[in-house]
Amino acid sequence: MKLDGRTPGGPLAEKWDRHRFELKLVNPANKRKFDIIVVGTGLAGSSASATLAELGYNVKTFCIQDSPRRAHSIAAQGGINAAKNYPNDGDSIWRLFYDTVKGGDFRAREANVYRLAQISNQIIDHCAAQGIPFARDYGGLLANRSFGGAQVSRTFYARGQTGQQLLLGAYSALIRQVAAGKVQMFPRREMLDLVLVDEKARGIVARNMVTGEIERHQADAVVLCTGGYGNVFFLSTNAMGSNVSAAYRAYRHGALFANPCFTQIHPTCIPVHGTYQSKLTLMSESLRNDGRVWVPKNPDDKRPPHQIPESDRDYYLERKYPSFGNLVPRDVASRNAKEQCDAGKGVGETALAVYLDFADAIQRDGKATIEKKYGNLFQMYEKISGEDPYQTPMMIYPAVHYTMGGLWVDYNLMSTIDGLFVLGEANFSDHGANRLGASALMQGLADGYFILPYTIGGYLAGTPLEDVSGEHPAFHDRAEAAAARLKKLLAVNGSRTVDDFHRALGMIMWDYCGMSRNNEGLETARGKIQQLRQEFWEDVLVPGNGADFNQSLERAGRVADYLEFSELMIIDALARQESCGGHFNEAFQTEENEALRDDENFCHVAAWEYRGRDTAPGFHKEPLAFENVELSQRSYK
Ligand SMILES: Cc1cc2nc3c(=O)[nH]c(=O)nc-3n(C[C@H](O)[C@H](O)[C@H](O)COP(=O)(O)OP(=O)(O)OC[C@H]3O[C@@H](n4cnc5c(N)ncnc54)[C@H](O)[C@@H]3O)c2cc1C
């Protein structure tokens, strides 16, 4: 298989315009003849569903939650990037493009990233017109703040609730289309499998999570907007329902999985505080605009923070990276926090934390200003930790947060299965080996509002599709297989809970495939995962039955997929014998312990093909050409 990214020709800045002109169109009257399935109602799925329906397509939208607006996107806190240059501080489309390519350690497709930067400005106009209550400056223009990996302020925000406000906008647009009869909404449905007819995606099999019924849904194209798979680590900042299953099912049917080992570990999360914790909480990167990160200089210094004088503190990010200071990208900040803790300078009871201190900012700007910017985040921190961050520094530690890997897509956002499009965090997307803060919301909305509505038309207009109903044998087969799998999970009737297996898997992944990796550890992890997978199928306990609301059964299916998918992550990490962004292999580092890329051998997207459960996956590579940005060693000094 030769991977064709279908990147259009011509100058970088003109590619998207030119491509849109060259794409075939579906005429307005014909759009109502096409059915499109959208799985997921986060920012990517809601924006796609609403826009496709507005264009005239018949849309069927699915989500796990009881309401589309409870999708994980609602948790996004800090903001969304755009190259508006409102602060007049030197931003431009080119700079956003450059920062994103560099931030991702040169492992993303140039043309996609440039298009993302171009569209970023349209997103802000669109969302402002929807009424999203973005923060404003004294003159009434939308306000901006800074995020990591950038020296300009380009992040638009609505306090610490940007995702919630953006999702309410997309949700409103979606619900308008539900009322207009153009979107049929299927909440509390879990997609269990993808259905292919003549090698094209033609529908899904879903479980009604309340009644247990297995349903068949047919369409002319399927759009997956099912989010990221950070929960493979068990503990992450993701919503509990985030999972890999829909993407993994598509992978099993021929959609290649790209860069699965690229995981983002976010530097500022509330540290783990107990063995039975099931969720981690993010403290938004926006806090690093004003918060200063430090540890005691002396590992033996156990004084409370306010008793440690300036001279005995190490503001290590400001010291090591004077240009970017506390706003270095996430991978760099996370590794540095780990390094400090490994050197014995960690603080708090577990010594796996560093301080994020607002004392200087409060003294400089006043408590009211800080409260206005971050009030809800401070409140959240206090509720969880019992400490008041206005009085004492926050304690933070890195945690799994986002997955840059995902299903491989071409410039049209189509996977290697015809008619299967993948949007938002579920695709391998535009962030390379490390996503810059506030770029996920931008990408999800770019995909849903502005890219897919063009590219899916090109596919539908240019592809002959025969009528297919849910009675087609392919639907029958997939529905039977999905039901049989649920039955098998229930039949094991062992002694260990699903969560017990999930926690064990998470620990393996965190220890061996987390912030830093080495070949020996990765090999060890592979063996441990295989062993755990076997134990799962011999000893998992799933109470209840399949004909009812059964959360253990739902989770069991997802963990079973994680137990296979995690091995793919390990295989990918082992194959990439370099360090880049979030993938840090200890054997490849500079003298200053920064990630050391090998552009000669690894300047590519690694895309994996499923070849059977007990067969090694096939490896495909999409070479990355950098024609507009010079490949260089990343430096934030
Ligand atoms: C705490 C937190 C804060 C963040 N803050 C920011 C920020 O400030 N700025 C930023 O840019 N990014 C931020 N991010 C990242 C960003 O929120 C996500 O990457 C983004 O929201 C993902 O959107 P999505 O639409 O791709 O998927 P999601 O919002 O994850 O939605 C996935 C959807 O798919 C559905 N689904 C999944 N599997 C199935 C299935 N099998 N069947 C049916 N439905 C299914 C779910 O029900 C859901 O509706 C943050 C992330 C976290 C965890």
pLDDT for position 496: 98
Residue pair 355/310 in contact by the 8 Å Cβ criterion: no
Tell the residue nearest (CA) to atom 3 of ligand 1: 76
Report the helix count and the strand count for the chain, using DSSP H and E. Answer: 18, 21
What is the distance in A from the centroid of ligand 1 to the CA of 73? 4
- Of all atoms in ligand 1, which is nearest to the CA of residue 238? 53
Query: Is ligand 1 within 6 A of the CB of residue 71?
Result: yes
CB distance 100 to 431 below 8 Å? yes
Q: Ligand 1 centre and the CA of 43: distance in Å?
A: 7
Beta bridge partners of 356: 293, 394
Nearest-angstrom CA–CA distance, 204 and 509: 30
Sheet of 58-62: strands edge to edge? 183-186, 58-62, 35-39, 221-224, 420-422
Q: Is 65 in the pocket of ligand 1 (CB under 6 A)?
A: yes
- Determine the Cα–Cα distance for residues 371 and 570; give it in Å rounded to an integer: 43
**Three-state SS sequence of 132-144:** CCCCECCCCCECC
What is the value of pTM for the model shown? 0.97
Across the range 191-207, mean pLDDT stands at: 98
pLDDT at 273 over 90: no
**What burial letters (b/e) apply to 226-261, b meaning 16+ CB within 10 Å?**
bbbbbbbbbbbbbbebbbbbbbbbbbbbbbbbbbbb
Confidence of residue 74 (pLDDT cuts 50, 70, 90): very high
Contacts of 369 (CB under 8 A, 6+ apart): none
Joined together, the tokens standing for residue 72 give 């994980």
Q: Which of 38, 61, 67, 73 has most ligand 1 atoms within 8 Å of CB, for mutation?
A: 73
CB 76 within 8 A of CB 162: yes
Please work out whether the CB of residue 215 comes within 6 Å of at least one atom of ligand 1.
no
Q: Name the percent of the chain lying above pLDDT 70.
A: 100
Amino acid at 585: N
Whether ligand 1 lies within 6 angstroms of the CB of 40 is answered as yes
CA distance 11 to 516: 38
CA distances for 418 relative to 152, 245, 388, 413, 470, angstroms? 40, 19, 53, 11, 19
User: What mean pLDDT is reported for the chain?
Assistant: 96
Residue 613 has pLDDT above 90, yes or no: no
Ligand 1 pocket mutation, candidates 156, 441, 452, 554, criterion most atoms within 8 A of CB: 441
Q: Are 509 and 259 in contact (CB under 8 A)?
A: no
* 161-176 confidence digits (pLDDT tens): 999 999 999 999 999 9
Ligand 1 and 245: CB distance under 6 A: yes
> Nearest-CA neighbor of 26 among 451, 415, 420, 459?
459
SS (H, E, C) 103-171: HCCCCCCHHHHHHHHHHHHHHHHHHHHHCCCCCECCCCCECCECCCCCCCCCEECCCCCHHHHHHHHHH
CB of 424 closer than 6 angstroms to any ligand 1 atom? yes
Atom of ligand 1 nearest to the CA of 438: 11
pLDDT over 90 at 614, yes or no? no
* Average of per-residue pLDDT across 408-434: 97
Mean pLDDT, rounded, for 433-441: 96
Q: Quote the radius of gyration of the chain (alpha carbons, Å).
A: 24
Contact 132, 158 (CB under 8 A): yes
HEC string of 280-336 equals CCECCHHHHHCCEEEEECCCCCCCCHHHCCHHHEECHHHHHCCCCHHHCCHHHHHHH
CA dist., res. 537 & res. 489, Å (int):
8
Q: Is 242 in the pocket of ligand 1 (CB under 6 A)?
A: yes
Note the pLDDT of residue 386.
95
pLDDT at 428 over 90: yes
Among 330, 526, 576, 634, the active-site one is 330
Tokens of 250: 């598509």
Does the annotation count 32 as an active-site position? no
Among 367, 374, 357, residue whose Cα is nearest residue 160 = 374
Query: How close is the Cα of 228 to the center of ligand 1, in Å?
Result: 7
pLDDT, tens only, 544-576: 999 999 999 999 999 999 999 999 999 999 999
- pLDDT tens per residue, range 569-596: 999 999 999 999 999 999 999 998 999 9
Ligand 1 contacts CB of residue 82 (under 6 A) = no
Kind of pairing between the strands at 58-62 and 80-81: unpaired
pLDDT the model gives residue 323: 94
With a CB cutoff of 8 Å and minimum separation 6, the contacts of 430 are 100, 104, 108, 109, 112, 113, 116, 439, 443
Compute the distance between CA of residue 229 and CA of residue 232 in angstroms, rounded to an integer.
6
| Protein residue with least CA distance to atom 52, ligand 1 | 76
Residue 531 CB contacts under 8 Å (≥ 6 apart), including other chains = none
Q: DSSP assignment of 350-386, as one string?
A: TS--EEEE-HHHHHHH-HHHHHHHHHHHHHHHHHHHS
Residue 413 Cβ inside 6 Å of ligand 1? The answer reads: no
Distance 296 CA to ligand 1 centre (A): 36
C-alpha 142 – ligand 1 centre gap (Å):
25
Task: Ligand 1, residue 249: give the atom nearest the CA.
Answer: 41
Residue 160 in contact with ligand 1 by CB distance below 6 A: no
pLDDT at 334 over 90: yes
